[in-house]
Chains A and B, each alone.
Chain A
Amino acid sequence: MGLFGGSKKPKDDWSTMSTVVKAEAKLQALGEITPSRRAGVIYRNDDQNAFQSDLKNELNSVLYVGDGATKTAFDIQDDDRGMRWVVLEDGNFGDLVSSVYTVGNAIGMNDGADNLLAAVFELYFTGTVEDNTYRSGLRTYWIYRYDRKAFYPFVPTGDSEGDRDRPTEARLGQDLRKHGLTIEKSLTEWMGLWGIPF
């Protein structure tokens, strides 16, 4: 409840986030992508926020109660950089995306829109990248930044800052854009998240 917070209207992220389902299906059909079962939402926890301090119960009712409930399994974890993660697991990619959206939306609707950093999907990539080297089943993350309302790929090669596989990211970025995903246009905004807890 700071001097400048609290009154912002929650944004509609669904129109952008839902495109990830189609893009994933197309790339999977081409043999380039295999989804994992995992995704996550990262946000800066605010102890003063009632919803966030009772997140586990709140998410239980959001994800498990009602007819259309996805019943996606989730776990709450803190990383070593002071951020909190909701890690979600679901074998149905469509349900996984919808649950990720629901979690972010629930946090946002309850005075937490400014705390949301990103939604992160884990997928495996197979293919040749620009420098003519081959990647087979490489773990990649597709990051959706709430402040930019856009996706970009992130392929860490280690846990320290800056360790990332840029050629694969570049290739994946082009392919995802080609298949209808809203990709962050400014490369300098493709910031990494090292040490993702899933």
Chain B
Amino acid sequence: MTSTTTRKFHKDRGLVSRMYLTMVMLGVLYAVFALFLLAAGMQMIFIGGIVGVMVLVQYFMSDKLILMSTGAKAVTAEQQPELHKMVKLLADRYDMPMPKVAVIDTPIPNAFATGRNPKNALVAVTSGIQQRLNERELQAVIGHELAHVANRDMRVLALANFLVTVTSFLMTMLFWNMLFGGMGGRRNNNGGGIMMVYLVTMIVYFIGQLLVLALTRYREYGADHTGAEISGDPGALADALEKISGTVAGIPDKDLRKLQTANAFLIIPAALKGEGSMNLFSTHPPLQERVKRLRELEQRMRYGLK
């Protein structure tokens, strides 16, 4: 294997610049929306405070939240010696401390990592993915997940998600406010004003959501790239993705009856649903695109383009 000290990753410039552009756009959206709310006379501190606490809890407790909400069980080196060995080897290559290792007992193949920094990281795999992938492929999947930790993607996304969480929270509040006409009291009796705020909030929410999704996709390609550099074997992750997705990853959780009743109002803000981990599939770029990029990278690495 190559050296275990920190390696200099060669960056995908287009990707990095698109990523920063998205972040700048999000920042601008934040600022404009804050100004708009101030002008409309909303109590910013109140909303910011509640959401801030929510995001902080998620940010600092993500590993525990994930363990609780997914049924992942932490496993010791004695229980799963090979998995531990593999994670340790990869963590060494990233030059990061050994993360917590967990297993979820389900046939559905998946893996994820969480943690605000490498010191508080957790990586989890399902028993389904362990059964289905060979060692080389599983190593590539864990490498991809550790790349998220190394790139501090959870921190970036927590920050980016802040606005989306604020707006979805606001939408819920405003919706109930319009229904029951409470809260605002005597100060704000014009329903038109509230309607206006609601509409703008909705628009900001959707734009914010799109930007966050774009950002997530860029981080995803980034983790594919970093993981491939670390392993020196981009084809392994491509193989793993193809193997898994060919069968089950696309089968949805959704009920057919929802087709007819979709697009109701958003009642539960996304942030309350215990997101905040990097899952191998959700909100990911199209699989074919990821596989294609990995195969290209494989070619480039094989023929010595450093």
Docked pose: A117 CA to B255 CA in angstroms:
11
Docked pose: A165 CA to B108 CA in angstroms:
8
**B257 contacts across to A, CB distance below 8 A:** 42, 81-83, 117, 193
Which of A118, A131, A164 has its CB near the most chain B CB atoms (within 10 A)? A131
Q: Is the interface of B mostly helix, strand, loop or mixed?
A: loop
Q: Is the interface of A mostly helix, strand, loop or mixed?
A: loop
Interface presence of A161 (CB below 8 A):
yes
CB atoms of B248 and A166 under 8 A apart: yes
Chain A: which residue is nearest B127 at the CB level?
A131
Docked pose: A169 CA to B247 CA in angstroms:
9
Docked pose: A42 CA to B259 CA in angstroms:
13
Interface presence of B107 (CB below 8 A):
yes
Number of interface residues of A (CB under 8 A): 31
Interface presence of A180 (CB below 8 A):
no
> A-B pairs with CB below 8 Å: how many?
71
Chain A: which residue is nearest B256 at the CB level?
A191
Interface presence of B217 (CB below 8 A):
no
Evaluate whether A131 and B132 lie within 8 angstroms (CB atoms) in the complex, with A166-B248, A166-B251, A170-B247 already known. yes
CB atoms of B256 and A192 under 8 A apart: yes
Interface residues on B, range: 20 to 34
Question: Contact string, A105-128, partner B, CB cutoff 8 A, digits 1/0?
Answer: 000000000000110000000000
CB distance from B113 to the nearest CB of A (A): 22
Question: Contact string, B254-283, partner A, CB cutoff 8 A, digits 1/0?
Answer: 111111110000000000000000000000
Docked pose: A130 CA to B247 CA in angstroms:
9
Cβ-defined partner of B107 (8 Å) among A81, A162, A166: A166
Docked pose: A167 CA to B253 CA in angstroms:
14
CB distance from B173 to the nearest CB of A (A): 26
Interface presence of A44 (CB below 8 A):
yes
Interface presence of A133 (CB below 8 A):
yes
Evaluate whether A117 and B253 lie within 8 angstroms (CB atoms) in the complex, with A130-B132, A131-B128, A165-B107 already known. no
Docked pose: A82 CA to B257 CA in angstroms:
9
Question: Contact string, A126-140, partner B, CB cutoff 8 A, digits 1/0?
Answer: 000011110000000
Docked pose: A190 CA to B250 CA in angstroms:
9
**A38 contacts across to B, CB distance below 8 A:** none
CB distance from B222 to the nearest CB of A (A): 25
**A117 contacts across to B, CB distance below 8 A:** 256-257, 259-260
Evaluate whether A194 and B251 lie within 8 angstroms (CB atoms) in the complex, with A117-B260, A131-B131 already known. no
CB atoms of B253 and A162 under 8 A apart: yes
CB distance from B13 to the nearest CB of A (A): 33
**B248 contacts across to A, CB distance below 8 A:** 166-167, 169-170
CB distance from A148 to the nearest CB of B (A): 10
Interface presence of B41 (CB below 8 A):
no
Docked pose: A153 CA to B254 CA in angstroms:
14
Cβ-defined partner of B256 (8 Å) among A118, A130, A164, A188: A118
Q: For residues 175 through 195 of chain A, which have their beta carbon under 8 Å from a beta carbon of chain B?
A: 186-194
Evaluate whether A161 and B254 lie within 8 angstroms (CB atoms) in the complex, with A131-B132, A132-B131, A133-B107 already known. yes
Evaluate whether A188 and B107 lie within 8 angstroms (CB atoms) in the complex, with A131-B128, A131-B131, A193-B257 already known. no
Question: Contact string, A70-81, partner B, CB cutoff 8 A, digits 1/0?
Answer: 000000000001
Cβ-defined partner of B251 (8 Å) among A118, A131, A132, A187: A187
Cβ-defined partner of A167 (8 Å) among B107, B250, B254, B260: B107
CB atoms of A145 and B256 under 8 A apart: yes
B interface residues with partner A (beta carbon < 8 Å): 107-109, 128, 131-132, 247-261
- Of the A-B pairs whose beta carbons lie under 8 Å apart in the complex, a sample of 27, sorted by A's number, is A42-B257, A82-B257, A117-B260, A130-B132, A131-B132, A133-B107, A145-B256, A147-B259, A161-B253, A161-B255, A164-B251, A167-B128, A167-B247, A169-B248, A170-B248, A187-B249, A187-B250, A187-B251, A188-B250, A188-B251, A190-B252, A191-B258, A192-B253, A192-B255, A193-B256, A193-B257, A194-B255
A interface residues with partner B (beta carbon < 8 Å): 42, 44, 81-83, 117-118, 130-133, 143, 145, 147, 161-162, 164-167, 169-170, 186-194
